[in-house]
Amino acid sequence: MGASPFVSPTPTPPPLQPFTGRTVSALKPVLVVKIENTHAGKPQMGLRSADIVYVEQVEGGLTRLMAVFSSKLPSQVGPVRSARISDLHIIPQFGKPALGYSGVQPKMIPYVKRAPLFDVSDSAAPSAYARVPGRVAPYNLFASPKKLLAKAPDASKARDIGFVFADEAPAGGVPKKAYTVRYPAARFTFTWSGAQKRWLVTQDGAKDVAAEGGQQGAPTVVIQWVKTTRSQFHDVNGSYTPLVQTVGKGTGVVLRDGKAYNMVWSRSSEAEGTTYTTADGQPMPFARGQVWVVLASKKPVAP
């Protein structure tokens, strides 16, 4: 009998990073960092390296960012600020990631301890943080993402959270040069740049410029209309902390490739990610790269 022809095994394709849709050599641990988002704390550093940027409403109708890193780590990130109760409802979808932040209200400490995360705050991992000269406290606290993850060696690796990606934009959509989202005391405008293939971020009428240079922006912006209610927590001035409801169903808009697409979002539990579909029920594909998820009430509300 003749020898059987040698059949080479089919090579395993490299994994796709579930947060960006890009090919990577391996999936890496997840680091979540709370970042200041007012004029006093800008320019921000490290945000351009994030895979996902969540915009959340906080006290006084202002906003704060929750940046998710996994694909690549910047040398520094910040200004790092305190965590909020809404963070703890978003984070479980990532498994058990590391969370970098600069403290919480005393009443919230038990909630943080019970949450599925590795605490790498400035009190739990002080060696990973430093005060940067030339900035005023509390806007001068920056962290080393590499050192933060070193304090959480068992942090979960990136996994599917419901995002779907495609090189080509789906049919439909409405051509859009810019889209504005309003909070009670903040305003974001995302302007399409055909040259950069990104939606460039303007906040409160000013370009959101990164400390590394260039304007903040992303190929995909998800405007997710959510219910915003009053939590049990409040600041020293008596202003209550909003609770953003990210479990359930709702509507929104996805911006990609210079167009706006109406979408429906659904998240059945905190342990699961969010699915985004078109009006006819098909998965809504994002452009590959950084994704901004803007969690806002359709009509601004300060609970």
Q: What is the pLDDT of residues 178-203, one digit of tens each?
A: 999 999 999 999 999 999 999 999 99
Give the domain CATH number at 259. Answer: 3.50.90.10
Residue 197 has a pLDDT of 96
Q: What is the pLDDT of residue 98?
A: 97
Q: Do 57 and 89 fall within a single domain?
A: yes
Task: Specify whether the CB–CB gap between 292 and 218 falls below 8 A.
Answer: yes
Question: What average pLDDT does the segment 236-256 reach?
Answer: 85
The domain boundary residue, chosen from 118, 150, 182? 150
The three state secondary structure string of the chain is CCCCCCCCCCCCCCCECCCCCCECCCCCECEEEEECCCHHHCCCECHHHCCEEEEEECHHHCEEEEEEECCCCCCCEECECCCCHHHHHHHHHHCCCEEECCCCCHHHHHHHHHCCCEECCCCCCHHHEEECCCCCCCCCEEECHHHHHHCCCCCCECCCCCCCECCCCCCCCEECCEEEEEECCEEEEEEEECCCCEEEEEECCEECECCCCCECEECEEEEEECEEEEEEEECCCCCEEEEEECCEEEEEEEEECCEEEEEEEEECCCCCCCEEECCCCCECCECCCCEEEEEECCCCCCC
The answer to whether residues 201 and 92 belong to one domain is no
The reply to whether 138 falls in a domain is yes
On whether both 195 and 268 belong to a single domain, the answer is yes
* Cβ(254)–Cβ(221) below 8 Å: yes
Same domain, yes or no: 51 and 142: yes
222 has pLDDT over 90 = yes
> Quick check: is 169 in a domain?
no
Same domain, residue pair 187 and 290: yes
Q: What is this structure's pTM?
A: 0.92
Q: Is residue 277 part of a domain?
A: yes
- Domain membership of residue 282 (yes or no) is yes
Report if residue 159 sits inside a domain.
no
Domain presence at residue 142: yes
Q: Which of 78, 184, 95, 165 is nearest to 130 (CA)?
A: 78
Same domain, yes or no: 203 and 115:
no
Q: Verify that 210 and 118 share a domain, yes or no.
A: no
Contacts of 299 (CB under 8 A, 6+ apart): none
139: pLDDT strictly greater than 60:
yes
The answer on 211 and 103 residing in a single domain is no
Q: Which residues contact 216 (CB under 8 A, 6 or more apart)?
A: 44, 47, 48, 200, 201, 208, 209, 210
The last residue of one of the domains, among 150, 184, 204, is 150
pLDDT of 27 reads: 96
- Residue 11 pLDDT level (bands cut at 50, 70, 90): low
Using pLDDT thresholds of 50, 70 and 90, give the confidence band for residue 85: confident
Higher-confidence residue: 191 or 2?
A: 191
Average pLDDT of the segment spanning 136-147? 94
Higher-confidence position of 51 and 270: 51
Domain boundary, last residue among 150, 166, 186? 150
Say yes or no to pLDDT of 238 above 90: no
Task: For residues 47 and 124, state if they share a domain.
Answer: yes
Among the listed residues 82, 35, 17, the one whose alpha carbon sits nearest the alpha carbon of residue 216: 35
Which residue range forms the structural domain that includes residue 97?
31-150
Section 143-169 average pLDDT:
97
- Give yes or no: residues 109 and 204 share one domain: no
Q: Is residue 94 part of a domain?
A: yes
Residue partners of 166: CB distance under 8 A and separation at least 6 = 21, 285, 286
281-299 per-position pLDDT tens digit: 999 999 999 999 999 988 8
How far is 225 from 60, CA to CA, in rounded Å?
19
Same domain, 197 and 84: no
Q: Quick one: 138 and 237 in the same domain? A: no
Pairwise CA distance, residues 95 & 109, whole Å: 20
As for how many domains the chain has, the answer is 2
Note whether residue 65 is domain-resident: yes
* CA angle, 10 then 12 then 16, to 5°: 145
